[in-house]
């Protein structure tokens, strides 16, 4: 029998080699067809007396990315359609479908013949769960090999035996840490935890796997043998008593109860380890069925997997424009941002010309890459030769003539229109006519900057976030005259450096900064109202934000907030900024000299390490303080999320962002908007436009016009629409240009 996704060969020793190699896919994934074929293979080798054992490996550079998430979406779509007719029947069908993979892996485990997984590259999710069901596991000794159960990152959890096999192979503390964080494991780490048995030279991977079978590998899982004992002891033991109460508390501290999948993992492990293995699998299946129905899972799967994947693949890239193969890229300005852009560009293997006003300044910018790579080498994440190779790609200079031949130039000079004008003109004088010029401005409209260009069609914004090496989002800003080629080249660059691009039409603050400034502004209002600073920061974290708004202000600099406010007043008039908020920031900067983290004092004090930052005690003296019991803590959380979501809705109404995927993914990647909601627009969709508008009106009545719902939301509430219905990203044609 022939298979579409696998080949099956039996050698002279009776060892079957299954090679997983899906046609026309860059990576193997579990689909319905794959599982049907694997099931047929399991039955075939189990029934064939000539087969003494089985090795399963991949014919690709990676082993497998796990389950095809679209398969899960199909299951959920079927459930959603059927539950209206018969909820019990639909739930039962979802339960049985969710258990198919579990049953398949258990069939491997109890086949009576030894199976060995030969892991030759990335092995994620369901693929690692399958490997754990094999009786032996061998991983190649390669930097390309990473094993993980990362499902919790998209709102679900390892539901094909992962929560049961991992804590039966390693101690419960390590198991919980791995399962609730989705952390990647190197072969060495996985072996130390007892999750794999051997590490082999890549060329001898299959040979080593076969040797395990020849050497008498038992075709029985440890937990299926009489007398099996859990590593580290049972749940009801001294070790268990020391682990579980703090584990529950730590989960609460880290997630604030916002991530049902993480809580379900603890329940699966705790309950599962108290019962026989097959019963434990049913417990896991029950919780997985429950989590699959949660709105958190639906939102996170959509935004953090499907939408993110689509955007990374260039869903918004103009069609018909040839891909750009970059031979040379110029960076104007070797300050912190420019140096960071040079680093990620060189890391992608692209030669960089890093230009500044003089050679020492440019060399200082290159030294930033030296420092980052030295840190990577120190941590074992890079080799000395990797550092040398990257640094060889960066050419510091003060001569604009060295930009000749660049396919793209990214300007990251001081945020001053005059300085940017001079840099643009000098660069264009030596660039080829087809070269694209991009500005990394964070405040000045691209259309205004494009007036400095002799070829505005080739002028675009590429807005990075700090620190560049860590922040995964990049805003691509369209000016009024930006052409498709410039947009396509910008996309190709952002994808080449492995960042996620979103397309934004031109406006003050673009998308991300408009939302972030609302977040900070609401915190300033709370301070002025007398809300204790600690309550503001804690409410933000409890709402799902990774960093409180006051801490975020410190990171971006309090004096920068002052500059933005003053510039806004100059451009839009006195009424554009709340005078009370202006007074607060002026007091922080001018009276107390508190500029933020950069001078070790802002809303927080930053003592020398290892001491941790703490809120500045003087904050309570700036305004009369409300007693904590007089503050509605839930309302604080609501205000912080709603103000951001309203701004995201306004951005959509104005046509600044036109694709809800970009608004959602952008809000999560740029400033960590409560990931469990799926992003700023999914937050509204999850609540429902009608209910959200009611909440906004209540807040507007109490706290002011910034909570006024835009006409778009009022219309959506009346029609019962969601953003993904109103702005269906899969019905779009060409990317909309700025009006």
* Residue 489 Cα distances to 312, 321, 329, 431, 736, angstroms: 14, 9, 12, 15, 17
Give the CA count within 13 Å in the CB-facing half-sphere of 100. 18
- Show the 3-state SS of 292-323: HCCHHHHHHHHHHHHHHHHHHCCCCCCCCCCC
Q: Are 263 and 251 in contact (CB under 8 A)?
A: yes
Which DSSP string do the residues of 466-491 spell out, in sequence order?
SSTTT--EEEEEEPTT--HHHHHHHH
Q: Name the one residue in this structure whose structure tokens are 């003539």.
A: 401
501, β-bridge pairs:
474
- CA proximity to 522, closest of 692, 647, 617: 647
Options 135, 197, 463, 592, the catalytic residue? 463
Q: Which two tokens stand for residue 21?
A: 């190699």
What is the spatial distance between Cα 331 and Cα 230, in angstroms, rounded to a whole number? 56
Residue 306 buriedness (CB in 10 A; 0-12 / 13-18 / 19+): middle
Q: 122 vs 162, 309, 612, CA distance in Å?
A: 17, 17, 37
- Of 489, 498, 477, give the one whose Cα is nearest residue 348: 498
Question: Phi-psi bin for 600: left (phi > 0), alpha (psi -120 to 50), beta?
Answer: left
HSE, CB side, 13 Å, CA atoms: give it for residue 13. Answer: 14
| Gap between the Cα atoms of 348 and 389, Å rounded | 11
Q: How far apart are CA 204 and CA 470, in angstroms?
A: 36
**Helical (H) or strand (E) element with 136:** strand 136-140
Residue among 660, 633, 640 nearest 721 (CA): 660
CA 528 to chain centre: 34
The answer to whether 528 and 620 have CB atoms below 8 angstroms apart is no
Q: Is 368 a catalytic residue?
A: no
Nearest CA-CA partner of 353 in 373, 326, 386, 388 = 326
Angle at 605 between CA 599 and CA 609, to 5 degrees: 85
SS3 category, 738 = coil
Given its phi and psi angles, is residue 508 left (phi above 0), alpha (psi -120 to 50 degrees) or beta? beta
**Looking at the chain, how many residues does it have?**
739
What are the Cα distances from residue 304, in Å, to 30, 568, 676? 19, 34, 10
- Find the Cα–Cα–Cα–Cα dihedral 540, 543, 545, 548, rounded to 10°: 10
The first and second tokens of residue 119, run together, are 């892991």
In 3D space, the residue among 71, 65, 72, 4 whose CA is nearest the CA of residue 37 turns out to be: 4
User: Please, which residues have CB within 8 angstroms of residue 405's CB and are 6 or more apart in sequence?
Assistant: 327, 328, 432
Burial environment of residue 646 by CB neighbours within 10 A (0 to 12, 13 to 18, 19 or more)? buried
For residues 505 and 662, the answer to whether their CB atoms sit within 8 Å is: no
Query: Six-digit token pair at 673?
Result: 């908007």
Dig out the tokens for 669 from the structure: 């990647």
Residue whose structure tokens are 């507007």: 700
Q: What is the longest distance spanned by two Cα atoms in the chain?
A: 86
Residue 153 CA to residue 124 CA, distance in Å, equals 12
Catalytic (active-site) positions: 463
């Amino acid at each position: 029998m022939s298979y579409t996704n696998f080949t099956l060969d039996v050698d002279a020793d009776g060892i079957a080699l299954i090679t997983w190699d899906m046609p026309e896919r860059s990576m193997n994934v579990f689909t319905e067809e794959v599982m049907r074929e694997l099931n047929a293979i399991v039955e075939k080798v189990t029934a064939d007396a000539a087969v003494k054992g089985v090795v399963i490996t991949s014919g690709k550079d990676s082993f497998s990315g796990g389950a095809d998430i679209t398969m899960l979406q199909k299951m959920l779509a079927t459930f959603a359609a059927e539950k209206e007719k018969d909820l019990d029947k639909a739930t039962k069908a979802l339960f049985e479908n969710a258990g198919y993979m579990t049953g398949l892996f258990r069939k491997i485990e109890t086949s009576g013949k030894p199976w060995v997984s030969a892991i030759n590259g990335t092995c994620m999710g369901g693929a690692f769960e399958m490997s754990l069901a094999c009786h032996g596991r061998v991983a190649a000794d390669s930097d390309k090999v990473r094993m993980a159960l990362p499902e919790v990152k998209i709102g679900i959890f390892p539901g094909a035996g992962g929560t049961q096999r991992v804590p039966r192979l390693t101690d419960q503390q390590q198991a919980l840490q791995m399962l609730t964080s989705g952390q990647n494991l190197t072969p060495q780490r996985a072996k130390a935890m007892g999750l794999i048995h051997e590490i082999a030279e890549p060329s001898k991977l299959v040979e080593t796997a076969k040797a395990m079978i020849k050497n008498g590998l038992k075709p029985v899982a440890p937990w299926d043998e009489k007398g099996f004992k859990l590593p580290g002891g049972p749940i009801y033991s001294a070790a268990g008593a020391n682990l579980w109460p703090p584990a529950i508390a730590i989960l609460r501290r880290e997630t604030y109860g916002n991530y049902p999948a993480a809580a379900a993992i603890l329940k699966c492990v705790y309950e599962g380890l108290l019962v026989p293995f097959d019963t434990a699998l049913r417990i896991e299946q029950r919780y997985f069925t429950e989590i699959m129905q949660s709105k958190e899972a639906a939102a996170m799967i959509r935004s953090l997997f499907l939408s993110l994947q689509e955007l990374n693949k260039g869903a918004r890239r103009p069609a018909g424009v040839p891909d750009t193969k970059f031979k040379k890229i110029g960076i104007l300005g070797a300050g912190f941002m420019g140096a960071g852009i040079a680093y990620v560009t060189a890391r992608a293997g692209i030669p960089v010309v890093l230009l500044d006003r003089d050679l020492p300044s440019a060399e200082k910018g290159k030294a930033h890459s030296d420092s980052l790579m030295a840190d990577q080498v120190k941590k074992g994440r890079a080799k000395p030769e990797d550092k040398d190779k990257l640094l060889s790609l960066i050419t510091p200079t003060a001569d604009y003539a060295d930009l000749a031949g660049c396919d793209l130039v990214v300007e990251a000079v001081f945020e001053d229109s005059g300085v940017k004008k001079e840099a643009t003109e000098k660069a264009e004088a030596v660039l080829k006519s087809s070269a694209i010029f991009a500005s990394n401005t964070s405040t000045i409209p691209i259309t205004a900057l494009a007036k400095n260009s002799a070829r505005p069609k080739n002028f675009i914004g590429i807005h990075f976030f700090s620190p560049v090496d860590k922040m995964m989002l990049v805003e691509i800003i369209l000016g009024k005259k930006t052409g498709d080629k410039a947009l396509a080249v910008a996309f190709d660059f952002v994808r080449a450096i492995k960042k996620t691009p979103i397309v934004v039409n031109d406006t003050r603050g673009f998308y991300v900064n408009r939302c972030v400034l609302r977040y900070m502004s609401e915190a300033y209002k709370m301070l002025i109202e007398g809300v204790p600073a600690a309550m503001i920061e804690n409410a933000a974290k409890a709402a799902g934000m990774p960093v409180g708004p006051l801490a975020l202000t410190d990171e971006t600099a309090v004096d920068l907030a002052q500059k933005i406010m003053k510039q806004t007043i100059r451009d839009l008039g006195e009424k554009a900024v709340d005078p009370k908020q202006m007074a607060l920031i002026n007091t922080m900067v001018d009276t107390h000299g508190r500029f933020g983290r950069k001078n070790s004092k802002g809303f927080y004090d930053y003592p020398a390490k290892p001491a941790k930052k703490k809120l500045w005690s003087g904050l309570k003296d700036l305004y009369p303080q409300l007693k904590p019991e007089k503050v509605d803590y839930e309302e604080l959380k609501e205000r912080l999320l709603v103000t951001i979501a309203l701004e995201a809705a306004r951005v959509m109404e104005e046509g600044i962002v036109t694709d809800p995927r970009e608004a959602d993914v952008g809000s999560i990647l740029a400033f960590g908007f409560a990931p469990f909601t799926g992003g700023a627009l999914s937050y509204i969709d999850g609540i429902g436009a009608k209910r959200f508008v009611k909440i906004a009106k209540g807040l507007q009545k109490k706290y002011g016009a910034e909570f006024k719902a835009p006409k778009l939301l009022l219309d959506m509430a009346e029609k019962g629409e969601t953003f993904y219905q109103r702005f269906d990203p899969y019905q779009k044609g060409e990317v909309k240009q700025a009006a």
